[in-house]
Amino acid sequence: MRQDVIAKTAPAPVTPVLTDYEKACAEFSWAAARERLAGLPHGGLNIGYEAVDRHVAEGRGDRVALRCVRRDGTAESVSYTALARLTNRFAQVLRSLGVDRGDRVFTLLGRCPELFTAVLGTFKNASVLCPLFPAFGPDPVAQRMRLGNARVLVTTEQLYVRKVAPVRDGLPELAHVLIVGEHGRDLPGTLSFDALMATADDDFSVARTDPGDVALLHFTSGTTGAPKGAVHVHEAVVAHHVTAAYALDLHPDDVYWCTADPGWVTGMSYGVIAPLTHGVRVVVDEGDFDARRWYGVLARERVTVWYTAPTALRMMMRATPRQGPYDLPRSFDLSALRFVASVGEPLNPEVVLWGRDVLGLPVHDNWWQTETGCIVIANLAACPIKPGSMGRPLPGMVAAVLARAPDGTVWRSPEGRVRTVDEPGQEGELALRPGWPSMFRGYLHAEDRYAACFADGWYLTGDIVRRDADGYFWFVGRGDDVIKSAGHLISPFEVESALLEHPRVAEAGVIGRPDPTAGAIVKAYVSLRPGVDPDDDLLRDLLAFARRKLGPAVAPREIVFDRNLPHTRSGKVMRRLLRARELGLPEGDTSTLETPEPPAP
Amino acid sequence: MDETEARTAVEEAITRVVPGADLTGLEPDAPFRDALELDSLDFLSFVETLSERTGLRIDEEDYPRLTALRDATEFLVARA
């Protein structure tokens, strides 16, 4: 285990929110954290109110809420007062369409101001928001909308035509599609977002929501079966708020930029909700990743706190290696920047040190997942960083390492008890004591899968970790077959299912192949139907087929033909064995991977 | 490298990253990254493929010139 430490010797430019870790942990209570939020004027708790209206009510309406940077680099500001009006209007639009409490509103949008309007207006109307990732193809989009009972979709013309129109027939519950921006073409079955907003009333009385009312639905991927819709409630905002203060060190005057896509939980919890509850200025960049562009945004917008992802940092590192030359970053004024954090997949120590040397700031890695709803384990502003470690549990969080059984699952006694691993440096599954406000409250329509996440009073994360003698956690790997690529969880099952729809494919096994930039990329092993010859044309056809269906975020980037896919006795493709082959483990050595079974006859 | 060779190099690099990409309907000045849904990893692969195929060095500051077919073709012709 690597034991380099980056000490925090120089005084921070701003006194960190959390200065004494042990004291903060000892004194923390969720009830006290709840007091930091306003609550609805007549009782109840609503994320939309906390993010927007509260600041207007408390006299901060003139402050800039959003700095929207367009693709061409121009930027415009939206004040908290303006955002309150826009979100009121959107809530009115929903109401006028008959969209009610608990109805599901889906967004399929990039990082644009309308996203904020739709998300926060949905909360104000007590409807449930479910964000989708624009890099999903038509299949993942349709499947999630079906599973989530989408009633409304807010998207753009381009995304609608590409991803929704072809599958709309299979979405009978989808009553309204609102098209943001140009709505030039005749698109049957859609409405113009802009036209509806133009005639809606500015006033709206935020619907009363109680802390336990459902607010958000986030889809995530498991090893098998359909995507899982993790349900989150309005009181999640308590956790969003306090963890942004602790783990991102957000102060009221910060200029904050979260680069995560709003289709993922980070882009929602920390791209939209948490920073706005702090009343900070949120930078929203519509453009795609480009190292030069990003340095430009950091410099021009005077970003102070930056929350990004390992894949993005590694791409920036490729543009400017740690050995130099530093011409590119040095040509921008990054003097406002004071805190950099990263999430999504383990951050390799090299990137932490790259940040220190090239940006002048080490990168603070943290850990959480869709189900936790908020940051759980983090390297903190006031504490030493251990490069490569995800840090320590935030105040209010109880984390443990649980012993595993030989089959890799958490060990349980016949009575169902688990065993914590207390000796430092030992591997086990990361488990958390439920009870924090943004803990997911279920998987939609899948109670059994929800129940399977718990054992003996612990929530099982599926991540294998070690904890060192100082209490820092270190990611070791996933306990299952789920692939983490560019910070996103991808279900091998979803990819295999798409490949199997190709008429020439007999079987497919999908794994993550280690990749220096993305962490892992999706790789598929495919066996063909009898009589079909593997050739380059078919390979290209398969890659294109999968990409059309699944979109660039999920589709395999590499496919190899393999006539002898390893099977379990029950006939399932053994992904663990494919991974062993990929990693170059000795042929036949599967003892550490899975109980070896003879291939099916 | 003449214009035809450059254009071929660009198109081949795109189709290597996005197999099956339909380039026929693509406007010469339209940003293909958007039209063909190249994410940031795809775009990096595209640049690397282009660099390997042509033997040209392509730097970070050249990326804005590689977003549309016409621009990218002209860039290669000028750089070669």
CA contacts within 13 A on the Cβ side of A508: 26
Architecture category of domain A39-234 in CATH: 3-Layer(aba) Sandwich (3.40)
3-state helix, strand, coil in chain B (%, to 5): 65, 0, 30
Angle between helices B3-17 and B69-79 (to 10 degrees): 120
Is A361 an 8 Å CB contact of chain B? no
Q: Enumerate residues 6+ apart whose C-beta is below 8 A from A187.
A: A157, A160, A161, A165, A179
Task: Determine whether the interchain pair A543/B19 forms a contact, defined as Cβ–Cβ distance below 8 Å.
Answer: yes
Whether the Cβ atoms of residue A374 and residue A356 lie closer than 8 Å to each other: no
Shortest CA distance from B41: residue in chain A: A518
Is B68 an 8 Å CB contact of chain A? no
Task: Determine whether the interchain pair B60/A292 forms a contact, defined as Cβ–Cβ distance below 8 Å.
Answer: yes
Token pair 């072809």: residue: A166
Interface test with A, best of B37, B42, B51 (most A CBs within 10 A): B37
CA contacts within 13 A on the Cβ side of A255: 18
In this prediction, residue A589 carries a pLDDT of 45
In this prediction, residue A587 carries a pLDDT of 47
- Reduced to 3 states (helix: H, G, I; strand: E, B; else coil), residue A387 is coil
In this prediction, residue B69 carries a pLDDT of 94
Instruction: Choose the CATH number for A483-582 among 3.40.50.970, 3.10.20.30, 3.30.300.30, 1.10.940.10.
Output: 3.30.300.30
Angle between helices A291-300 and A310-319 (to 10 degrees): 100
The domain total for chain B is 1
Q: For residue A438, give the amino acid letter.
A: S
Cα dihedral angle (A324, A326, A328, A333), rounded to 10 degrees? 160
For A525-570, the pLDDT digits (tens) are: 999 999 999 999 999 999 999 999 999 999 999 999 998 898 877 7
List CB contacts (< 8 A) between B60 and chain A. Answer: 291-292, 319, 328
Positions of CATH 3.40.50.12780 in chain A: 39-234
Indicate the length of chain B as a whole number: 80
> With left for phi above 0 and alpha for psi between -120 and 50, is residue A551 left, alpha or beta?
left
**CATH class, A398-478 region:** mainly beta
Is A264 an 8 Å CB contact of chain B? no
Task: Determine whether the interchain pair B39/A135 forms a contact, defined as Cβ–Cβ distance below 8 Å.
Answer: yes
Q: For residue A430, give the amino acid letter.
A: L
| Nearest of A265, A263, A261, A259 to residue A282 by alpha carbon | A259
Whether the Cβ atoms of residue A75 and residue A66 lie closer than 8 Å to each other: no
Q: For residue B39, give the amino acid letter.
A: D
Neighbours of A567 (CB within 10 A): 18
Is B63 an 8 Å CB contact of chain A? yes
Low-confidence spans in chain A with pLDDT less than 50: 1-2, 587-601
- Domain hosting residue B12, numbered range: 3-19+27-79
Which value, in Å, is the radius of gyration of the alpha carbons in chain A? 24
> Which CATH number covers residue B52?
1.10.1200.10
In this prediction, residue A601 carries a pLDDT of 37
In this prediction, residue A585 carries a pLDDT of 73
Task: Determine whether the interchain pair A288/B37 forms a contact, defined as Cβ–Cβ distance below 8 Å.
Answer: no
Is B25 an 8 Å CB contact of chain A? no
